[in-house]
């Protein structure tokens, strides 16, 4: 498998590192607009290969998309990151132009590529990629829900004082501080509802902490997070490489599912060799359905800024 990661900043480099360490890809190409930056990151990562025990080849390129030719999967992380106090939506004017150009260059050299979108505002950038490329809906995936669900599980494990491997939980909806819908009703600890272990008040705190998870890290770090986003992407690429049909909440183009049309928003999907193999429609209660409708309205408002 050949994987391209566009944007060699902290998120892109973390993507490349985690993919390489899992040792399932033959080659990872890092692309960046800054002269020598991707090449330097690739060299630095390659110098860890003997220490970390991987054989994946990592190469860098300064805006030369010919090196990405015949990629099976491409990850778009490029664009300006959030700063403290910024919303993801405030990035749209700059990042839309970047993502549009990147997507066109990727398709030119890899017409059969599956694209994973990380750039913010992620649901809108995923929608833009669909409109710009015209690719089949299964071949464009927004990463957000996988990351948001990992943050949810972290907060649930923290609240229950449980090993995180005991915890299962899912976040659907838009990848924004107000649009995320942590499904607290369905969260479990080894199949037992998490509500058996913590109070409603504590669960509400977990839900809110999950929704502002990105903003919390941005405030602490002074920029967007990178380790967890990189790990979320690598898990999705791994599922594609192994055709594992692993379920991730991710931003998918909906055409009637959940009663929504012509919108990219986070819902559970099975990920395999063809990208999105199936969108899974779970039974939501009335409150969750309304939260999803509200989240979709917010995403459409952001889409209108394109």
Q: What is the mean pLDDT of each run of 10 residues along the chain (306 residues)?
A: 97 97 98 97 98 98 97 92 70 82 96 96 94 95 97 98 98 95 98 97 98 94 94 98 98 98 98 98 98 97 87
Tell me which residues are annotated as active site. Answer: 175
Q: What is the pLDDT of residue 97?
A: 86
Q: Which pLDDT does position 80 carry in this prediction?
A: 67
Could you report the per-residue pLDDT of 73-109, keeping only the tens digit for each? Answer: 999 998 866 678 766 667 777 788 899 999 999 999 9
DSSP letter assigned to residue 80: P
The pLDDT mean for the chain works out to: 95
pLDDT for the residue 86: 66
CA angle (123, 135, 256) in 5-degree steps = 60
pLDDT tens-place string over residues 219-246: 999 998 999 999 999 999 999 999 999 9
The residue assigned the tokens 């004082």 is 161
Do 270 and 282 meet the contact criterion of CB atoms below 8 Å apart? Answer: no
Helix (H) or strand (E) holding 65: none
Neighbour-count burial of 40, counting CB atoms closer than 10 A to its CB (0-12 exposed, 13-18 middle, 19+ buried):
middle
What are the pLDDT digits (tens) for 192-201? 999 999 999 9
CA distance linking residue 259 with residue 174, whole number of Å: 15
Q: What is the end-to-end Cα distance of the chain in Å, rounded? A: 33
The dotted CATH code for 2-144 is 3.40.50.720
pTM surpassing 0.85? yes
């Amino acid at each position: 498998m050949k994987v391209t990661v566009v944007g060699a900043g902290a998120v892109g480099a973390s993507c490349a590192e985690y993919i390489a360490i899992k040792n399932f890809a033959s080659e990872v190409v890092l692309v960046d607009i800054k002269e020598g930056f991707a090449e330097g990151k690739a060299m630095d990562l390659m110098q860890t290969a003997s220490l970390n025990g991987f054989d994946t080849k990592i190469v860098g390129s300064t805006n030369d998309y010919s090196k990405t030719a015949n990629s099976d999967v491409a990850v778009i992380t490029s664009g300006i990151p959030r700063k403290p106090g910024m919303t993801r939506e405030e990035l749209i004017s700059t990042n839309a132009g970047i993502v549009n150009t990147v997507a066109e260059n990727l398709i030119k050299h890899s017409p059969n590529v599956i694209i994973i979108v990380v750039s913010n505002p992620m649901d809108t950038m995923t929608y833009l990629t669909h409109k710009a490329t015209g690719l089949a809906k299964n071949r464009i995936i927004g990463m957000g829900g996988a990351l948001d669900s990992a943050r949810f599980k972290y907060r649930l494990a923290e609240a229950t004082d449980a090993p995180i491997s005991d915890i299962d939980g899912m976040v659907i909806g838009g990848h924004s501080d107000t649009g995320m819908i942590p499904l607290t009703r369905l969260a479990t600890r080894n199949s037992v509802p998490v509500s058996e272990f913590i109070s409603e008040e504590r669960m509400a705190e977990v839900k809110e902490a999950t929704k502002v998870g990105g903003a919390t890290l941005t405030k602490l770090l002074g920029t967007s997070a990178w380790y967890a986003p990189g790990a979320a992407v690598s898990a999705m690429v791994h599922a594609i490489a192994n055709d594992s049909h692993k379920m991730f909440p991710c931003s998918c183009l909906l055409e009637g599912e959940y009663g929504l049309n012509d919108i990219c928003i986070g819902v559970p999907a099975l990920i395999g060799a063809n990208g999105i193999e199936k969108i899974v429609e779970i039974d939501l209660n009335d409150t969750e359905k309304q939260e999803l409708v509200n989240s979709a309205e917010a995403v459409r408002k952001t889409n209108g800024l394109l």
